[in-house]
């Protein structure tokens, strides 16, 4: 998963990054709210960790801005030294999904992150997932459409297809997709990603006739759209 953390305390950011990395996720660090705001129009994240006492914009206002920009709901954890009930209520009313008073309780922090990721649908996928005519066999890394197996789909193409279906309707940035499939340190160009996505679109026939359309959004990334005529039998198995 791709997680963003904003805090003006370098030691706190180091702790957050260490915990997130130990959970197997990529963590992007920001030392102030404006640094985060600058990337929001072009980047996407699976979870936000926001400090209340930022030097430029208060955490609750940052959360409201994130909620205003996000098309799909994304889990947000608000962290602060404040523990008064009124502050907790204000933080949650600003749009935070959870609230944690800063401490050295690493186990609690990890547990809260795991709970938020579960709430956001970011659990390891079950072996079989179905969207309309598309059936994914995760362990065997195979896809069928209307019962017919798709041949010639390589590993990266399968991973890209699965992440797009699991984020149906959500716009994902190119950097998000590259990190999710190749890893945070991978040297993969946007052009290479475009080639892979073109193969996914062609091999899985992600066009209007199947009820699912893979759309490229200029200067940003990709979104998989479920069209109105799509028959979503079995979608509840996600």
How many CB atoms are closer than 10 A to CB 229? Answer: 9
Burial 64-87 (b: 16+ CB within 10 A, else e): bbbeeebeeebbbbbbbebeeeeb
Residues of the chain with pLDDT under 50: 230-238
Read off the pTM: 0.69
**Residue 92 buriedness (CB in 10 A; 0-12 / 13-18 / 19+):** middle
Sketch out the chain's domains with CATH numbers. 2-119 (3.40.50.2300), 128-237 (1.10.10.10)
CB proximity list for 84: less than 8 A, separation 6 or greater: none
* DSSP category for residue 173: E
CA distance linking residue 189 with residue 16, whole number of Å:
28
**DSSP class per residue in 79-128:** EES---HHHHHHHHHTT-SEEEE--S-HHHHHHHHHHHHHHTT-SPPPSE
- Find the farthest-apart pair of alpha carbons in the chain and give their distance in angstroms, rounded: 58
> Tell me, what's the pLDDT at 120?
59
> What DSSP string runs through 179-212?
HHHH-TT----HHHHHHHHHHHHHHTT-SGGGTE
Q: What pLDDT is stored for residue 74 in this prediction?
A: 87
- Residue 126 Cα to chain centre, angstroms: 18
Buried b (16+ CB within 10 A) or exposed e, 39-58: ebeebbbbbbbbbbebeebb
The confidence score (pLDDT) of residue 72 equals 63
């Amino acid at each position: 998963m791709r997680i963003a953390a904003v805090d003006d305390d370098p030691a706190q950011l180091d702790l957050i990054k260490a915990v997130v990395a130990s959970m197997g996720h990529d963590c992007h660090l920001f030392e102030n709210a404006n640094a985060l705001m600058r990337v929001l129009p072009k980047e996407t994240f699976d979870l936000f960790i926001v400090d209340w006492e930022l030097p430029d914009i208060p955490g609750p206002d940052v959360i409201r801005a994130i909620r205003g920009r996000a098309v799909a709901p994304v889990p947000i954890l608000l962290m602060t030294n404040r523990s008064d009930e009124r502050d907790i209520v204000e933080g949650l009313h600003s749009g935070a999904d959870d609230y944690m008073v800063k401490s050295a309780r690493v186990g609690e922090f990890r547990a809260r992150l795991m709970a938020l990721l579960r709430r956001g649908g970011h659990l390891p996928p079950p072996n079989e997932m179905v969207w309309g005519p598309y059936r994914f066999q995760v362990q065997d890394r195979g896809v069928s459409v209307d019962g017919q197996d798709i041949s010639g789909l390589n590993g990266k193409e399968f991973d890209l297809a699965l992440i797009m279906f699991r984020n149906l309707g959500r716009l994902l940035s190119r950097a998000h997709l590259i990190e999710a499939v190749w890893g945070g340190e991978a040297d993969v160009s946007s052009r290479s990603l475009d080639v892979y996505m073109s193969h996914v679109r062609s091999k899985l026939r992600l066009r209007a006739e199947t009820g699912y359309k893979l759309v490229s959004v200029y200067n940003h990334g990709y979104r998989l759209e479920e069209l109105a005529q799509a028959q979503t039998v079995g979608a509840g198995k996600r």
